[in-house]
């Protein structure tokens, strides 16, 4: 089992890991999600009803997948990430109309109520703490603004759970070691422990000022999309 960083070192470890894997990040995402990750992002952006009247924050945007999809829907988009190499990859793919900012999810350089939609893909596990990030999202979203989160998850039922465990904990790290960075793709399954169990995320969102919280499972529970509305 991969040793996970302590809270005091997590941000620095996570940032340098994403700086290292940035060049192979998109290819690995497509491979390990069997090509489904972009479909999940598009369907989350559709569920949020993103359109030309929206200002969208792609939080922890990485290489800009969500930012690009939101821009294709006509929205004004800003992507924010703290890893310079991930942002550089985003800059190489995104049109100039998408604002890309280097910053920390814990201190968003955005005014109160300045965005109508916030999305974040596969990032919650990587934050040092989730509730302060939800508080920042609640601050920058206008009342009635929509939040969409995409994350890994674990199937609940026996056979699916076992198959998923073998794939996620054995095959994904082996593919990572072969095609990208072994340490990073051992961290990926191990970091699922940072996610609250069961209804924990729903409770965090409710406490953070969000309502209408809905969860959708993907691929038998291997991934999850959550939508919520800023009260």
51/103 with CB nearer ligand SAM: 103
What region does 106 belong to: left with phi over 0, alpha with psi -120 to 50, or beta?
A: alpha
Q: How far is the CB of 32 from ligand SAM (least distance, A)?
A: 11
DSSP structural state of residue 125: G
Kindly indicate which of the ranges 11-19, 45-53, 196-204, 214-222 contains the residues binding ligand SAM, using the contact rule CB under 6 A: 11-19
Please give the residues from 89 up to 108 whose contact with ligand SAM meets the rule CB under 6 A.
Answer: 104-106
Among 40, 45, 100, 121, binds ligand SAM (CB under 6 A): 121
Interface with ligand SAM: number of residues (CB under 6 A): 22
Contact 151, 176 (CB under 8 A): no
Q: Where are the beta strands (DSSP E) in the chain?
A: 55-59, 76-81, 99-102, 115-121, 141-152, 210-218, 223-230
160/190 with CB nearer ligand SAM: 190
Element holding 138 (H helix, E strand): helix 131-140
Among 40, 122, 185, 187, binds ligand SAM (CB under 6 A): 122
Tokens at 65, concatenated: 């997948």
Tokens at 41, concatenated: 């992002």
Among 61, 117, 137, 172, binds ligand SAM (CB under 6 A): 61
Binding mask 171-200 for ligand SAM (x = CB under 6 A): ------------------------------
d(CA 34, CA 113) in angstroms, rounded, equals 37
In the chain, the largest separation of any two C-alpha atoms, in whole Å, equals 47
Among 77, 123, 147, 223, binds ligand SAM (CB under 6 A): 123
Q: How far is the CB of 68 from ligand SAM (least distance, A)?
A: 11
Q: How many CA atoms lie within 13 A of 159 on its CB side?
A: 0
65 lies in the site for ligand SAM, by CB under 6 A: yes
Binding site for ligand SAM (CB under 6 A): 11, 14-15, 18, 29, 60-62, 65-66, 81-83, 86, 104-106, 121-123, 126-127
């Amino acid at each position: 089992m991969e040793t996970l960083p302590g809270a005091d070192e997590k941000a620095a470890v996570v940032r340098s890991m994403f700086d290292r894997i940035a060049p192979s990040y998109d290819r690995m995402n497509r491979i390990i999600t069997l090509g489904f990750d972009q479909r999940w992002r598009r369907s989350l952006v559709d569920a949020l009803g993103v359109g030309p009247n929206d200002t969208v924050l792609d939080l922890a945007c990485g290489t800009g997948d969500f930012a690009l999809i939101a821009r294709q829907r006509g929205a004004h988009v800003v992507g924010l990430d703290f890893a310079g190499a991930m942002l550089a990859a985003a800059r190489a793919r995104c049109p100039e109309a998408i604002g890309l900012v280097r910053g920390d999810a814990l201190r968003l350089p955005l005014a109160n109520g300045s965005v109508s939609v916030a999305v974040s893909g596969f990032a919650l596990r990587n934050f040092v703490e989730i509730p302060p990030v939800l508080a920042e999202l609640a601050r920058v979203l206008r009342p009635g603004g929509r939040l969409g989160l995409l994350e890994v998850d674990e199937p609940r039922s026996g056979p699916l759970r076992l198959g998923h465990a073998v794939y996620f904990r054995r095959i994904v790290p082996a593919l990572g070691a072969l095609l990208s960075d072994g340490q990073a793709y051992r961290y990926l399954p191990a970091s699922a422990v940072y996610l609250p169990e069961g209804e924990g995320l729903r409770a965090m969102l409710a406490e953070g000022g969000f309502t209408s919280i809905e969860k959708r499972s993907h691929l038998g529970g291997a991934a999850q999309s959550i939508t919520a509305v800023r009260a």
